[in-house]
Amino acid sequence: MPRPTALATIAGVALLAPVALAQTTIKPMELDEQLADLPERWEGIAELFDVPGAAIAIVKDGEAYAWTYGTANPETGAPVTPDTMFYIASITKTYTATAILKLCDEGRLSLDDTLAQHLPDLELPDGLSPEDVTIEDLISHRMGINAGMTVVLDAYTGEITPERYAHWLPRGTAERATRYTNVNYTLAGRVIEAVTGMSWRDYLVQEVFEPAGMTRTTPFASRLYSDPDAAFPTVWDGEGWAIAAQRKTDRTMHAAGGLGTTAADGAAWMLLHLNDGVADGERILNAETARAMRTLHAPFDEPEGSIRIEHGFGHGWNVGTFADQTPLMMHGGGYVGTGTWVGILPEHNAGVYVLVNGEGLARGWGSIVAIDALQRLSGVSPPWSPYDRFQQQARELKASGEAPRVNPGLTVLSADACSRPAGFYTGWFRNEHLGTLRVEAHAEGLTLWLGDATLAPEPTDTPDLLRVPDLLDDSTTLRFVVEPDGTINRVVVTNDEYPEIVFAR
């Protein structure tokens, strides 16, 4: 595994001088006495936890540090650097919330505005009206609006259209209670577009990233994965590391989970929030607005967690405490071959951003890194040691052969699951509301795609009937309909939640 790599520079800020902010250099973590031994500690267990590559950014008292490890691309062996771009998944919500609040600061939007004011044709699930839901309800998850199919289309298949979003949204569920959902933020993205007349992506780039000097933060997967310094989502294919078949495209980068960033830009993001809305000498948010983001607006019935304890939601951030002793604002993100987490300790002028291009055990390693860093930065000791406990668990899982390691990413369906030769199944099947199901032939069998999403079908005792739990849930089945003349022109998907869905050639 490659050794940690060299460091780079970013546009940063000095916490003690928020009026005249200067650039800060990212430094090697080893140069700080408080952090010096952490890189060796983390590297020593990275292989145990199947970590392909990682970039860690730490900020404290206006200084920024980074440490990198491993490979960004398992095919080329390219090393991770502080400027390597990683997909960050749901941490995107903290950025989208910042865009919403910037519009509020500009007087173009109010947190008390209702959805009906900006999306007048919107229809929500039963029991909830657009007149009932405010912008603040969305960015603090104070209302639980969910619609599984819109999430599938937005985040995985990419075949979302305004018509499909409008079709599936009212068929979802809604609760007048604090519930974390992607839909709240895809709605927030649509509010940004309605108010500004530009996409949520372009607004973030022009009004937040560029002024903040975050030149390597992007809402475009095409830029992310075409960049020579990009981290690809990585999985274990049974023999070695491989790039995941399921990865982001431009059309699956959405306002709830659609950004790529670097350790360097991640440090700038943390400094922006620690400096109450100022980055690279530019005020992005009013100070009061920035402080309100880390204030509890939607409490949980009971706190969650034992070390990184979540009490509820602020604006975009999960709000809580570290080891029940010091305030902590945080957010995590996960996708195939990806695990990310950011946490900020406002009272200690410090934070940590963890970027990993792996999943399974690698996410446990990311938790160790985050908690180690938070402990050093705050001086607070957690009630138990993830470093010790997670290592023991990882060794036991590997010894038993049950480590969550094998994930080939592209599932090939054996011909034994089919009643007809492969050629009868291949081709494109379409549904008005779900898009395109694509069946391709390979030497070993068939592969199935729904838009940009790979499917992992599981054979049943009945030929041509498959389970596809990764599409929605364990109740989801897919059946190829064999006509009397032996042709296959329809595919029927069923699920406990939705009626029969037919794809036709």
Q: What is the pLDDT of residue 404?
A: 75
pLDDT, tens only, 34-55? 999 999 999 999 999 999 999 9
User: Which residues 6+ apart lie within 8 Å of 273 measured at CB?
Assistant: 290, 293, 294, 329, 344, 351
Q: Let me know: does 436 contact 383? Beta carbons within 8 Å.
A: no
Token code pair at residue 102: 């910037």
Would residue 194 count as lying in a domain?
no
Q: What is the pLDDT of residue 18?
A: 30
Q: How far apart are CA 292 and CA 276, in angstroms?
A: 10
Token code pair at residue 317: 């951030």
Q: How far apart are CA 16 and CA 428, in angstroms?
A: 60
Would residue 497 count as lying in a domain?
yes
- Count of structural domains, the chain: 1
Q: How far apart are CA 229 and CA 395, in angstroms?
A: 32
Residues 285-296: what's their mean pLDDT?
98
488: helix, strand or coil: strand
pLDDT, tens only, 296-325? 999 999 999 999 999 999 999 999 999 999
How far lies 172's CA from each of 138, 183, 477, in Å? 16, 10, 19
pLDDT, tens only, 66-111? 999 999 999 999 999 999 999 999 999 999 999 999 999 999 999 9
Q: How far apart are CA 146 and CA 182, in angstroms?
A: 7
Q: What is the pLDDT of residue 16?
A: 28
Q: How far apart are CA 159 and CA 13, in angstroms?
A: 40
Q: Is 272 exposed, middle or buried (0-12, 13-18, 19+ CB in 10 A)?
A: buried
User: Which residues 6+ apart lie within 8 Å of 224 measured at CB?
Assistant: 85, 87, 218, 230, 248, 260
Alpha helices, DSSP H, located in 205-295: 221-226, 263-274, 287-293
Q: How many CA atoms lie within 13 A of 468 on its CB side?
A: 27
Would residue 475 count as lying in a domain?
yes
Q: What is the pLDDT of residue 25?
A: 75
Q: Which secondary-structure segment (H or E) carries 502?
A: strand 501-504
What are the residues facing 436 on neighbouring strands?
430
Could you list the residue range(s) of the whole structural domain that residue 438 is in? 413-504
pLDDT, tens only, 475-500? 999 999 999 999 999 999 999 888 79
Q: Quick count: other Cβ atoms within 10 Å of Cβ 400?
A: 8
Would residue 421 count as lying in a domain?
yes
Q: Let me know: does 331 contact 342? Beta carbons within 8 Å.
A: yes
Residue with tokens 């995985």: 156
Would residue 448 count as lying in a domain?
yes
CATH of the domain at 454: 2.40.128.50
Residue with tokens 């080939």: 408
Would residue 267 count as lying in a domain?
no
Q: Which residues of 233-269 are buried (b: 16+ CB within 10 A; e: fewer)?
A: bbbbbeeebbbbbbbbbbbbbbbbbbbbbbbbbbbbb
pTM over 0.85: yes
pLDDT, tens only, 386-427? 999 999 999 999 999 887 765 656 789 998 999 999 999 999
Q: How far apart are CA 47 and CA 66, in angstroms?
A: 20
Would residue 333 count as lying in a domain?
no
Q: Let me know: does 351 contact 343? Beta carbons within 8 Å.
A: yes
Q: Let me know: does 183 contact 151? Beta carbons within 8 Å.
A: yes
pLDDT, tens only, 313-359? 999 999 999 999 999 999 999 999 999 999 999 999 999 999 999 99
Would residue 292 count as lying in a domain?
no
Indicate if the pLDDT at residue 21 is higher than 90.
Answer: no
User: Which residues 6+ apart lie within 8 Å of 34 measured at CB?
Assistant: 60, 376, 377
Q: Quick count: other Cβ atoms within 10 Å of Cβ 113?
A: 16
User: Which residues 6+ apart lie within 8 Å of 225 measured at CB?
Assistant: 232, 247, 248
Q: How far apart are CA 351 and CA 342, in angstroms?
A: 7
